[in-house]
Amino acid sequence: MSARRSLSALIFAFLLVYVSLAQTHDETGEPAPRFHAKTTTGELYDNKSIKGKIVLFEFWTTWCKYCEGESRLVDDIAQEFKNKDLIVLAVDVLESDRTVMKYLADHPRTVPIVLTKDTNLAAMYNAQVYPIYVVIDRAGKIAGEQRGAAGDRGIRRMLRRAGLDDD
């Protein structure tokens, strides 16, 4: 009976690892899913409007300290590459408009902000741990993903993979 329990436990552990890996599978090189997004200022984005541009999606929340720590970095990168066809969209996930707007009053951002109710992006990229970064290349393919803080080097590495030169 003990051997049977050990085998069952081993199979169960294998299945947990398999399911976990399947859910976090790297989508690099795959076409970006069809999306729509509306910023808090009313700008509309979708696959057609970003064609030929490089896009950085930053998924964040107001309570995430790593997100707060990297927000200035993301804003600075957006400013640095604004003339090189980089679009940055900061997608707040699952928080009320009021919460986000109050937070932004105290922590202003320079990149366009998208709220969960105005996009399907958070569900498409399984945004559950923050921050999450996704970079789409000019051909509309996923060039890189980072779950968790990426830092300057990590974000720039994904942008280079998408074809953005930082010279």
Cβ burial, residue 137 (10 Å; 0-12/13-18/19+): buried
Residues of the chain with pLDDT under 70: 1-26, 167
Cβ burial, residue 47 (10 Å; 0-12/13-18/19+): middle
What's the whole-model pTM score?
Answer: 0.83
Instruction: Please tell me the distance from the alpha carbon of residue 116 to that of residue 91, in angstroms, as a whole number.
Output: 7
In degrees and rounded to multiples of 5, residue 28 shows phi and psi of: -55, 130
How distant is the alpha carbon of residue 121 from its chain centre? 8
Residue 27 is predicted with a pLDDT of 73
Sign (positive or negative) of CA dihedral 95, 101, 107, 109 = positive
Residue 52 is predicted with a pLDDT of 96
Residue 3 is predicted with a pLDDT of 63
From residue 93, give the alpha-carbon distance in Å to each of 40, 49, 102.
Answer: 14, 22, 15
Single-letter code of the amino acid located at 133: Y
Task: Provide the CATH topology of domain 26-161.
Answer: Glutaredoxin (3.40.30)
Residue 165 is predicted with a pLDDT of 83
Instruction: Please tell me the distance from the alpha carbon of residue 159 to that of residue 153, in angstroms, as a whole number.
Output: 10
Helix 65-80 with 151-161: angle, nearest 10 deg: 50
Residue 77 is predicted with a pLDDT of 98
